[in-house]
Structure 1
């Protein structure tokens, strides 16, 4: 069911706001998986509460974990207390449209006792899954998918996985590598994952997986290109605070450049494996003033972005927001290296081409990205295709196109349920 359309606000003047964001979806879901597999009770502080993370928590409960709220004095939302799972099958897993759930949990389900059925939203049934299904079969796991290579499918859990070396083509999603690594320490022989294919997309996400595994005491060797080894052994319980989601910060920071003004995001990490950190460099290259001071990132702009030629292969989730800023620029832009986003929540390349074109922008679809030739923006109904990043892109464009209407804004609940409130609060604070 879609939500009512959103008459997204235009900027009435220069922005001047500070926006505090909840935790990273990518980190929250990795920590949830590791905590469910750990040897004792874990605590996640300031986790993101969104559709994707709630789906992950519920899926892990289906597999036997206990995940409960706990009072937190340090954040506005409860912490999560995770009692590790005695993995069991027999209960279905609803993946929704969450790539992390549909890809991270089949290797976990293989360790369960009994069959586990995976299914999700209609759009989820076209997302590529063959790489993880084939990898599990190579490791001795039975998976029934009727030859589709997509949802729905059944993992026949036997309580153990042999493990060992497996070669996969993860060029469609780095999540396939992360999925095997997260569960690999509980395989009898551990796991060695070798990627054989086109360059791995979003490599920082694999680096994030390696770092979170090490946080849980796993022995991981990533010294060889395109090869990762996790030794067998127990995972230690976690007590971690989740960093803010830097990809969710992107539209707010981009607003300062697209509309003019200043936007700050506190608690920006000095060191991070989040791919969204790349937004600092991208906006700097597009003419913004970017500064990180006392863990607060500030972006200031004059409303006249410069065109850019940028490879977003390692941070492809930034593509919709960067494309929106490029549509407001003083010259053409090219976004490269993101062919794999055709298999994300929607075909993001085609979706951006259609929606930017509907606002008067000339867009050329490339084999691996987009060329964007700016033009004066005209308001339109901006369709979002059940894709949270499209909502964010539409909000940036609406700043420059009064009268823009964004379809189904609630789909942004996948990663940031309070996005609309935070966005309108940013503009209200600027007016004050």
Structure 2
């Protein structure tokens, strides 16, 4: 009888999604909020800096950030640099529009390529005065005099972040906001947003037709502990599956607000053993890292983790098809095409459509992985590199966007396996 390996405890940093939402909620709240164990990464530091550009005071240590809220939107004129942070570009313009002044938002070339049109149209419909270049991208100028509220329909087929941005600032509007989100993707992120809004005292409800209504009244400061990032945890969970090891992530349990924890249920379909308790989740791989394929899975609600599955899918015993991920073509990179190209470079056959990819089993060869400045591409293919020698990353440092210590943690957890090296 084979003895199951003892689980290793992974050090997964705080959730980016929770950290950045909580930063904005704290900035809008009355009083001082303490955020415990925030994620310290390029994206969250960019979001924090953008808030200070808007006049919000954020202080404290890496273990606890203290945010002194305004109790309203920002006032004055400011230029706001969003760097590469899509959440900053999508969450902060509604916050600025709820205030008073002129605010100019800009970011890197990569961020300038990401669409903002649905958000621009929605804010214009709520009474904001906006200037943007053709196509609705950064740079974006907001001439703010508060937002009236009302009823709008929002195209949410590209990203759920447009809806989140509107919801977060809705309690600062003069009247209730009702949003009907058409084609909503990544729905669990909206439930996370509403849960955090309620934690800070907002009142929201969803009607039978799917519309979300938010009442005015602002926010109240609150203590909040940031749980580990479920999207980031997908890499160490997948690594356990492909190495036949066992990894536990404390703080990610049955009460998590992060939909991406659902990735472990996909790993269960590959044959991994999964145990989720109130306080932690553990994934244990089968002997030799054997994976079962031959299934079709819709990952539209957890699309940030589809690359984790796709990168290890060649190790399965039959093809795996991932669907519902068309909006992933509009992230930091065209993630479907980026995954397909890198797998082809490893000698693996793939097929793709507008919103899907099929990965066939094979014997991956070492290759230079093109990261496209996309942290999730780099981390996903690093997991494949635990089983395939000769995998290198052209931009290993891009993981700093969400997990600056990723490579070191992977080596600590799996010292007997090869980990990719940058060139």
TM range, smaller chain: over 0.9
Report the counterpart of residue 3 of structure 1 in structure 2: none
Query: Measured at CA, do residues 190 and 63 of structure 1 come closer, stay the same or move farther in structure 2, by a change above 3 Å?
Result: farther
- Aligned-pair distance for 1:165? 1.0
Report the counterpart of residue 33 of structure 1 in structure 2: 24
* 1:289-327 Cα shifts (integer Å, max 9, x gaps): 111246232211121111131100100000110101212
Q: 5+ unaligned residues in a row in structure 1: which ranges?
A: 1-13, 71-76
- What is the aligned residue count? 409
* Secondary structure at the counterpart of residue 106 of structure 1: helix
Report the counterpart of residue 261 of structure 1 in structure 2: 245
The CA distance in 1 between the partners of 2:412 and 2:104, in whole Å, is: 41
Tell me if structure 2 keeps the 8 A contact 1:89–1:115.
Answer: yes
Among candidates 369, 389, 395, match of residue 356 of structure 2: 369
Among candidates 241, 250, 254, match of residue 234 of structure 2: 250
Report the counterpart of residue 168 of structure 2 in structure 1: 182
> So what's the TM-score if we normalise by structure 1?
0.92
Q: How does 1:32-431 map to 2 (within 5 A)?
A: 32-70=23-61, 77-85=62-70, 87-158=74-145, 160-196=146-182, 198=183, 200-293=184-277, 295-302=279-286, 303-307=289-293, 308-428=295-415
Across the aligned residues of Structure 1 and Structure 2, the Cα RMSD in angstroms comes to 1.6
Report the counterpart of residue 7 of structure 1 in structure 2: none
- Aligned-pair distance for 1:20? 1.9
Query: Measured at CA, do residues 412 and 371 of structure 1 come closer, stay the same or move farther in structure 2, by a change above 3 Å?
Result: same
- Aligned-pair distance for 1:268? 1.7
> So what's the TM-score if we normalise by structure 2?
0.93
Q: 5+ unaligned residues in a row in structure 2: which ranges?
A: 419-423
The CA distance in 2 between the partners of 1:293 and 1:137, in whole Å, is: 45
Report the counterpart of residue 421 of structure 2 in structure 1: none
* Secondary structure at the counterpart of residue 350 of structure 1: helix
Query: Measured at CA, do residues 202 and 155 of structure 1 come closer, stay the same or move farther in structure 2, by a change above 3 Å?
Result: same
* Secondary structure at the counterpart of residue 39 of structure 1: strand
Tell me if structure 1 keeps the 8 A contact 2:113–2:137.
Answer: yes
